[in-house]
């Protein structure tokens, strides 16, 4: 579905509110965040859990996910208009939905994961009660995260295109500053080839800037709404030079697979230093989001005539509130410094080609178009316990999708299948581990482990995990008709768990913000007899180490 077609279709569809009170937003659609766009809107729930939530339209529950994607408990409603609404971080579902979910959990013999429903199982009408709001998953405070996806491409759409009539907004966006980035070897701004930022103290800056050659601009701006102190992302940014459009972004629809491009539409390196997003009004070569319209130079402005150029930013929100910011640039012939060539060209990765980069004991495979621009690596290699450790950039540098890294084991281990790749970036993160034995050029067998890589600035090395997770009861099982289990794994991390009573599977629900899971026996087929029952609880980590806890309890 094209961006324009999707927008036109969405603009003709009106859904209802998911809450029965005035909507206030904690976050809007497509706000730039490290490594992702905000894929929906965050609706405030008064800093409490348990607000009743309602289907925004007719349809049926097509899917429920438990404990996935940071969504916690999430409900998916398929609408006949061609869209699916997604309600995230839920405390719990309506009794009718819970009843059907339990049936699928018993069929699949799992408590967490994805549970899909046929159209006739859970039909809903617009305004039907479907769930209570919560704080599950990676939520930092109680709220409803609402997303809308089209059913064909699963692109993310701004929910305000469908329920915007429920939100008050009479305030225009505000710009705080602009960034000028001379293109290396092709331009200067203010007599310098360095990137520079300038504040918007007023809507029409009186400072007379100078430039020569090719320059890209960026803007730091936020949207605002009545009755909240929050700031939001900008729906539409337009850059004009001498009344000619050179760049336009319309963040009403974002393809899911392009989420990581946020780092390179925005100036990620500046964000790391300042926690301020300057969104570029020009495109790096590997950025291909379908939300842009540019001039023939991907938004770059060429100051090639000795005269004044009149620059204007036009910012718009979803309601059509607008603000304008202007400044003048005088083009003055100026010497442009030449391009600095990489000291070691063999360390350069190209954005438009497949890259296979190797160091002793390491191989990095990057598909084409996984970089936003050419990158020069700065590798450092150190000793590790099970392999050498590798860092490929001195600072953070995220890719546009996952790549693969292969590491050679340097120490003998009892069971090679327990080796895995770990990334070290603030904390350790499990990155997978496909283990294979290959012969080197001398015919000697070597153990290589393949894992995922998405951050060139992290350190990658091999780790080993042959220890099962730790599992135990929290309190006495069966007291109050509840069994609570705690489980942790400090190495490769937990992969799955399952509980059984008297040999029958029973679902355990995650206890938010804790390492516990809980089974309410009254919601299971296990009947209270006052006699002993047998509990068997199993936890498995990412290297398939398994721990089984068994005990008898009275219920």
pLDDT digits (tens, 9 = 90+) for 31-72: 999 999 999 999 999 999 999 999 999 999 999 999 988 999
Q: What pLDDT score does 340 carry?
A: 79
Q: What pLDDT score does 336 carry?
A: 96
Neighbours of 118 (CB within 10 A): 9
Give start-end residues of each CATH 2.70.70.10 domain in the chain. Answer: 3-166
Q: What pLDDT score does 41 carry?
A: 99
Topology of domain 345-464, CATH: Chondroitinase Ac; Chain A, domain 3 (2.60.220)
Residue 290 makes CB contacts below 8 A (sequence gap 6+) with 2, 3, 255, 258
Looking at the predicted structure, is the pLDDT value of residue 407 above 50?
A: yes
Q: What CA–CA distance (Å, rounded) separates 49 from 143?
A: 7
Looking at the predicted structure, is the pLDDT value of residue 1 above 50?
A: no
Q: What pLDDT score does 328 carry?
A: 98
| Mean pLDDT computed over 499-515 | 96
Identify whether the C-beta of residue 133 lies closer than 8 Å to the C-beta of residue 45: yes
pLDDT band at residue 12 using 50, 70 and 90 as cut-offs: confident
- Each residue's pLDDT tens digit, 378-387: 999 999 999 9
Residues facing 27 on adjacent strands: 42
pLDDT band at residue 10 using 50, 70 and 90 as cut-offs: low
- Each residue's pLDDT tens digit, 327-378: 999 999 999 999 877 667 778 999 999 999 999 999 999 999 999 999 999 9
Which CATH number is correct for 3-166, 3.40.50.10490, 2.30.30.100, 1.10.10.60, 2.70.70.10?
2.70.70.10
Residue 520 makes CB contacts below 8 A (sequence gap 6+) with 481, 482, 509
Model-level pTM? 0.94
Looking at the predicted structure, is the pLDDT value of residue 91 above 50?
A: yes
Please name the residue that has the structure tokens 């929050």. Answer: 230
Share of the chain above pLDDT 90, in %: 94
Mean pLDDT across the chain = 96
Looking at the predicted structure, is the pLDDT value of residue 190 above 90?
A: yes
For 531, the 3-state DSSP assignment is coil
Burial 519-533 (b: 16+ CB within 10 A, else e): bebeebebeeeeeeb
Pairing of strands 301-303, 204-222: antiparallel
Identify whether the C-beta of residue 487 lies closer than 8 Å to the C-beta of residue 515: yes
Burial 17-34 (b: 16+ CB within 10 A, else e): bbbeeebbbbbbbbbbbe
Residues facing 279 on adjacent strands: 219, 266
Looking at the predicted structure, is the pLDDT value of residue 493 above 60?
A: yes
| Mean pLDDT computed over 397-423 | 98
Q: Got the DSSP string for 189-218? A: ETTBSS-EEEE-SSSEEEEEEEEEEEEEEE
- Indicate the burial class of 346 (C-beta count within 10 angstroms; 0-12, 13-18, 19 or more): exposed
Q: What is the separation of C-alpha 389 from the centre of its chain, rounded to a whole number of angstroms?
A: 27
Which CATH number is correct for 471-554, 3.30.420.40, 3.20.20.210, 3.40.50.720, 2.60.40.10?
2.60.40.10
Q: What CA–CA distance (Å, rounded) separates 318 from 321?
A: 8
- Indicate the burial class of 369 (C-beta count within 10 angstroms; 0-12, 13-18, 19 or more): middle
CA dihedral 420, 36, 229, 318 (to 10 degrees): -160
Residues facing 366 on adjacent strands: 355
* Tokens matching residue 528: 């209270």
CA pseudo-torsion sign 272, 237, 286, 8? positive
Q: Which of 519, 478, 517 is nearest to 494 (CA)?
A: 517
Identify whether the C-beta of residue 401 lies closer than 8 Å to the C-beta of residue 370: yes
Q: What pLDDT score does 343 carry?
A: 63
Give start-end residues of each CATH 2.60.220.30 domain in the chain. Answer: 345-464
């Amino acid at each position: 579905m094209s961006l324009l077609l999707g927008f036109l279709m969405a603009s003709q569809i009106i859904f209802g509110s998911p809450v029965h009170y005035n909507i206030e937003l904690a976050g809007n659609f497509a706000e730039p965040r490290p490594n992702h766009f905000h894929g929906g809107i965050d609706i405030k729930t008064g800093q409490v859990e348990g607000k009743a939530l309602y289907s925004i339209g007719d349809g049926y529950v097509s899917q429920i996910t438990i404990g996935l994607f940071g969504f916690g408990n999430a409900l998916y409603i398929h609408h006949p208009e061609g869209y699916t609404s997604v309600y995230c971080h839920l405390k719990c579902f309506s009794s009718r939905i819970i009843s059907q979910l339990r049936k699928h959990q018993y069929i699949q013999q799992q408590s967490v994961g994805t549970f899909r429903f046929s159209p006739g199982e859970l039909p809903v009408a617009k305004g039907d009660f479907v769930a209570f709001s919560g704080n599950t998953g990676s939520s930092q405070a109680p709220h409803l995260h609402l997303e809308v996806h089209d059913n064909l491409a699963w692109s993310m759409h701004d929910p305000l295109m469908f329920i915007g009539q429920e939100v008050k907004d009479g305030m225009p966006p505000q710009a705080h500053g602009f960034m000028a980035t001379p293109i290396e070897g092709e331009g200067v701004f203010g007599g310098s080839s360095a990137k520079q930022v300038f504040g918007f103290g007023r809507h029409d800056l009186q400072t007379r800037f100078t430039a020569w050659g090719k320059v890209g601009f960026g803007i730091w701006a936020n949207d605002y709404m009545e009755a909240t102190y929050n700031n939001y992302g900008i729906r539409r940014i337009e850059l004009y030079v001498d009344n000619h459009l050179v760049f336009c972004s319309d963040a009403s629809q974002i393809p899911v697979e392009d989420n990581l491009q946020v780092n390179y539409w925005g100036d990620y390196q500046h964000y790391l230093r300042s926690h301020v997003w300057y969104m570029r009004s020009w495109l790096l070569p590997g950025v291909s989001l379908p939300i842009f319209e540019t001039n023939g130079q991907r938004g770059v402005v060429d100051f090639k005539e000795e005269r004044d150029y009149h620059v204007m930013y036009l910012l718009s929100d979803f309601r059509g509130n607008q603000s304008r910011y202007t400044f003048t640039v005088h083009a003055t012939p100026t010497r442009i410094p030449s391009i600095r060539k990489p000291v070691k060209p063999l360390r350069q990765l190209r954005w438009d080609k497949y890259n296979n980069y190797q160091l002793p004991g390491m191989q990095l495979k990057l598909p084409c178009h996984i970089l936003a621009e050419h990158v020069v690596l700065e590798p450092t290699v150190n000793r590790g316990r099970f392999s050498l450790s590798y860092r490929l950039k001195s600072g953070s540098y995220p890719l546009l999708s996952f790549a693969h890294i292969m590491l050679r084991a340097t120490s003998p281990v009892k069971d090679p299948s327990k080796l895995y790749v770990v990334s070290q970036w603030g904390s350790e993160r499990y990155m997978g581990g496909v283990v294979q034995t290959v012969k080197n050029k001398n015919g000697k067998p070597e153990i290589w482990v393949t894992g995922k890589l998405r951050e060139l600035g992290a350190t990658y090395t091999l780790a080993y995990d042959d220890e099962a997770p730790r599992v135990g009861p929290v309190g006495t099982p069966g007291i109050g008709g509840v069994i609570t289990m705690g489980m942790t794994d400090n190495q490769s991390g937990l992969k799955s768990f399952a509980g059984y009573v008297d040999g029958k599977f029973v679902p355990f629900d995650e206890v938010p913000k804790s390492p516990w899971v809980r089974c309410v026996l009254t919601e299971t087929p296990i009947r209270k007899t006052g006699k002993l029952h047998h509990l068997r609880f199993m936890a498995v980590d990412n290297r398939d180490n398994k721990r089984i806890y068994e005990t008898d309890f009275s219920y």
